[in-house]
Structures are given as structure tokens and as C-alpha cells.
């Protein structure tokens, strides 16, 4: 998940600053970032301030999308920290995880890796080279077609991505501690409906 920073694109543009403190100041609240004792969070304060100074605007989208943006920022930091603890960069985890998910023998062609990692073929070649130099993957001829090259997880790569994934799930589960199983399922359904239009084939 890409880091959005501060309020994220929507709220940053609306409040005039990319950082939470700047957004609060621009909104005129003077409040510190984060949730207060009244249960309101920074987005509540920003939207209330905009509703006060621009009552002609419908700020309802900020209620949802600014929180999604802020959550993405926190998740991005948590993932970077988790992967770093296992000696991996985020892009390294992405490639290794794609190979791991493919199942035994954990082997894919570079072209099969591209849509799962959302990078160009040139970038993928460089990433495979770096992972191979670390002993986490190997590059070899495809047993079914010697004209093709396949990338395969090494035992070291498999162990590293498995350990990182277990830590990631434990870390991210803590983000959902305040929600019941039913609420989690409902939230997943709502987010799926929100994201789906952006991921439909063009």
C-alpha cells in the first residue's frame, strides 16, 4: 500500500497542508493531530472547520476518504517496519510473495510477475537480478520451454518470505483489534465495493 502522507491527497488539498498538524492549523482548529477525549479524530475537526467556513460545500467524501488515506499511511509505515525487521524491502517482499503464492515449485516467468507487482519489465529485470544476488531466487530455463526464463524461490527465499508474512499478519491484525468479526467482514465488503470500479478491466 503506497504511503500517502499526512491527510492524503484529498484532505491535504482541501486543508492546504500535507501534514496533519498543518491541516489542523489551516482548518483553524489549533487542535493536536489524532483522536481526542471526546472521541473525535482529526478528520472530524477538519471537516467541521470546512463546513463552518464553506457551508456551500459537501464535505462528506472527506469523512470516508481522508480516513482511508490516513490509514494507508499508517499501514505503509507498519509494513516497511515489519519487512525491514526481516531484512527485506517492500518491493522484495512483493516479488517473493508472488512466487510463494504460486505454490510449488514456486516458479513464475518475469511476465507472470509483472501484473502482480505493477512494475515495468525493465524494473522487474533489475529486481530479479538483485534478489538472485542475495540468493533468494534463481533464474533458469523453463523446463517446459527452453526459450523461456523462469524465476524460482530458493529455500532461503521461501523461509524469509514465510517469516515476513507471519509477522505482517500479526502486526496488521492489531489494527483490527477494536472491531468484531462481523464488523470486519462488513468493512471488507464496503471497501471491496469502493475499490472495485478502479480495478475493473478498462
Confidence band of 7 (pLDDT split at 50, 70, 90): very low
- The answer to whether residue 188 sits within a structural domain is no
Cα-based distances in Å from 132 to 69, 107, 140, 146: 35, 13, 11, 20
Strand partners of residue 140: 150
- The verdict on 76 and 95 lying in the same domain is no
Residues 44 and 101 in one domain: no
User: What pLDDT shows up at residue 176?
Assistant: 94
Residue 200: all three cell numbers together: 475493473
CA distance 79 to 28: 33
Does a structural domain hold residue 34?
yes
pLDDT tens digits, residue range 96-149? 999 999 999 999 998 888 888 878 888 888 999 999 999 999 998 877 776 788
What 3-state DSSP class applies to 1?
coil
Residue 135 lies in a domain: yes
Q: Do 6 and 81 have their domain in common?
A: yes
150 vs 145 pLDDT, higher one? 150
Q: Please check the confidence at residue 13 and state whether its pLDDT lies above 80.
A: no
Same domain, yes or no, for 8 and 22? yes
Q: Are residues 48 and 127 in the same domain?
A: no
pLDDT at 11: 40
Q: Are residues 21 and 77 in the same domain?
A: yes
Is the domain of 47 the same as that of 80? Answer: yes
27 and 94 Cβ atoms separated by less than 8 Å: no
Please indicate, yes or no, if residue 197 is contained in any of the structural domains.
Answer: no
* Closest to 140 in 3D by CA, of 111, 91, 107, 94: 107
What's residue 49's pLDDT? 95
Instruction: Give the per-residue pLDDT at 136.
Output: 97
CA 168 – CA 46 distance, rounded (Å): 32
Q: What's the pLDDT at 154? A: 97
Give the distance between the most distant pair of CA atoms in the chain. 67
* Domain containing residue 142: 90-164
Is the model more confident about 171 or about 33? Answer: 171
Is 152 within a domain?
A: yes
In a shared domain, residues 1 and 80:
yes
**73 & 34 share domain:** yes
> Across the strands, what pairs with 153?
137
**pLDDT at res. 35:** 52
Specify burial of residue 192 (Cβ count, 10 A radius: 0-12, 13-18, 19+).
Answer: exposed
What pLDDT, on a 0 to 100 scale, did the predictor assign at position 34? 53
Pick the last residue of a domain from 23, 53, 85. 85
Cell of 108: 513464475
- Evaluate whether residue 183 is within a structural domain: no
CATH number of residue 94's parent domain: 1.10.10.10
**Are residues 152 and 81 both part of a single domain?**
no
Shared domain for 63 and 4, answered yes or no, is yes
**Residue among 110, 107, 95, 114 at smallest CA distance from 143:** 107
pLDDT tens for 21-70 read 333 333 333 334 455 556 788 999 999 999 999 999 999 999 999 999 99
| Per-residue pLDDT at 146 | 67
0.75 surpassed by pTM: no
Determine the Cα–Cα distance for residues 74 and 103; give it in Å rounded to an integer.
30
The total number of structural domains in the chain stands at 2
pLDDT top residue among 12 and 160: 160
- Residue 199 is predicted with a pLDDT of 79
Same domain, residue pair 76 and 96: no
Amino acid at each position: 500500500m503506497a504511503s500517502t502522507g499526512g491527510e492524503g491527497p484529498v484532505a491535504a488539498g482541501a486543508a492546504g497542508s500535507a501534514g496533519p498538524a498543518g491541516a489542523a492549523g489551516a482548518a483553524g482548529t489549533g487542535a493536536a493531530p489524532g483522536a481526542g477525549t471526546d472521541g473525535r479524530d482529526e478528520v472530524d475537526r477538519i471537516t467541521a472547520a470546512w463546513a463552518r467556513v464553506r457551508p456551500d460545500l459537501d464535505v462528506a467524501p472527506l469523512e470516508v476518504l481522508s480516513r482511508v488515506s490516513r490509514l494507508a499511511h499508517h499501514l505503509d509505515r507498519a509494513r516497511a517496519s515489519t519487512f525491514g525487521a526481516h531484512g527485506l524491502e517492500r518491493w522484495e517482499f512483493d516479488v517473493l510473495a508472488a512466487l510463494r503464492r504460486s505454490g510449488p515449485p514456486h516458479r513464475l516467468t518475469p511476465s507472470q510477475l509483472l501484473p502482480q507487482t505493477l512494475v515495468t519489465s525493465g524494473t522487474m529485470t533489475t529486481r530479479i537480478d538483485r534478489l538472485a544476488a542475495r540468493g533468494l531466487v534463481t533464474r533458469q530455463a523453463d523446463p517446459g520451454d527452453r526459450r523461456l526464463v523462469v524465476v524460482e524461490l530458493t529455500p532461503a527465499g521461501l523461509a524469509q518470505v514465510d517469516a515476513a508474512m507471519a509477522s505482517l499478519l500479526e502486526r496488521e491484525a492489531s489494527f483490527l483489534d477494536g472491531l468484531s468479526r462481523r464488523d470486519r467482514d462488513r468493512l471488507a465488503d464496503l471497501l471491496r465495493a469502493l475499490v472495485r470500479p478502479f480495478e475493473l478491466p478498462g
